[in-house]
Structure 1
């Protein structure tokens, strides 16, 4: 990294460190801006990424989509174009040198607005491509992101300046050829935009029976086209996608609402508790009860570490 780049990164690091007093994800007054801190290496965390830009100021992270692995650090950034069930894991972090990063959530209308100004919002089928990309960080994008993050320190400036800086950030991301596909997800009528609609429906109605022919009809595609484009965007079939969403939601329910495995299975759409248990163990490595017990034990350990940090 050159001297200017390192100076910008350190300023970004300073602000994130200042506004993340403890581990976790911290919302800010800037719409869509989240700051993240982790003081230890994490186990795989299962979640759903929203359309967003993710930047690491210190440390590194691995994101897994299906069987594909994406790693990014301060020299790169990750963009997610659609809602995707991913597995994330912090790979570099310690109490002395914590993992510090940020996420900027995108509104597809914001992206479309920039595309229209560029004169590229033509109705086009286009080719859909993977909904996650890792690209090399550049000076102009880092500069714009830093200006947005600095607004956290001057909240009175946020209403006036934040919309313009976010617009610039979107423009900088779209200028990168590696993120050209991001445009397609915002253009009405494109294959990517139709698949984004299918993903949204599956994410919302995950507990309902999956009928690919009905999804294809709603997306104005043949069943084979839907399957091919869906797999191109998500790296998995619609059935695999639904399974990931269901199991992640079941895990959340088991951990946060103290219900038994059979009830969690029913709530997310499984008719057979035994089949649910097998699928759950295949994805998370342990049967539901043992997995939740381990998660709670891990949480107690993290709280102890946090208390030690605060006391120190």
Structure 2
């Protein structure tokens, strides 16, 4: 779930995501007899460009950060062979690169190849938007200036807003707020800092505003989030 977008996928689906999205995820079907399992393969853009060039595929004109399609059957065999290399480190070192290339090739030659080709846009829109999201992730505690981001991406502010929302489903300011809140939730689950310190760590000057935004995003204030690890109480000394 990303703002008002619901991205639904399940068994037998291929999910292609070009950039990280600050989304809430929920596994709806899983138990001991049928556990939730997925294979995630990092996308090598240089490999994609190389294959598309060899295959003389035209760059896409649309720029969306995520797509869900049925998994091409031809992808199953090289994926299985890649998984079997987990128990053979030396084989994996030599053979995994070729199998990953074959997997990408099988997707490109399927009816869903456009989902990958669209990542090679004529003017590099997704690459530039991805550069902006990466900058925000590395400067999570700093305020966002959309004009500066647009300038970094080589676009006007209007064009940047339009392309950013088309790719991520949200505005640059809202995206930055969401990655701040997701990082805050990670800190709540993994550390024993106070809420005010966590708010400050993700760039909030006001703990009360942080609590309001947190509740709006996750349905509960940070102090009541069940993921929160409470700071240990100090032992009384005599």
- TM-score band, normalised by shorter chain: 0.7 to 0.9
Partner Cα distance (2:113, 2:202) in 1: 34
- 2:52–2:117 Cα contact (<8 Å) kept: yes
Shift of 1:118: 2.6
Contact kept? 1:128, 1:181, Cα under 8 Å: no
**Given that residues 72 and 107 in structure 2 are in contact (C-alpha distance below 8 angstroms), is that contact kept between their aligned partners in structure 1?**
no
In the alignment, does 2:198 pair up with 1:261?
Answer: no
Offset at residue 113 of structure 1 (A): 2.6
Distance 1:296 1:217 in 2: 38
Aligned to 2:31: 94
CA distance in structure 1 between the aligned counterparts of 2:24 and 2:85, rounded to whole angstroms: 30
8 Å CA contact retained: 2:188, 2:227? no
Name the residue aligned to 1:280. 214
How far residue 286 of structure 1 moved from its aligned partner, in angstroms, is 0.9
Larger strand share, 1 or 2: 1
Q: After TM superposition, what 4+ stretches of structure 1 lie above 4 angstroms from structure 2?
A: 176-179
**Residue in structure 2 matched with residue 157 of structure 1 by the alignment:** 91
* Cα RMSD, aligned residues only: 2.1
1:115 equivalenced with 2:52 (yes/no) = yes
Q: Which one has more relative contact order, counting CA pairs under 8 Å at least 6 apart?
A: 2
Paired position in structure 2 for 1:80: 17
Distance across 2 between alignment mates of 1:242 and 1:73: 28
In the alignment, is the contact (CA less than 8 A) between 1:133 and 1:179 conserved in 2? no
Matched, 1:251 2:188: no
Which residue is equivalent to 1:211? 145
Match of 1:302 in 2: none
- The alignment's TM-score, normalised by the length of structure 1, stands at 0.68
Give 1:65's aligned residue. Answer: 2
Aligned 1:1-312 pairs, distance under 5 A = 64-120=1-57, 127-176=61-110, 178=112, 180-186=114-120, 189-291=123-225, 294-295=226-227
Q: What secondary structure does 2:24 align onto?
A: strand
Structure 2 unmatched ranges of 5 or more: 230-238
What is the deviation of 1:84?
1.6
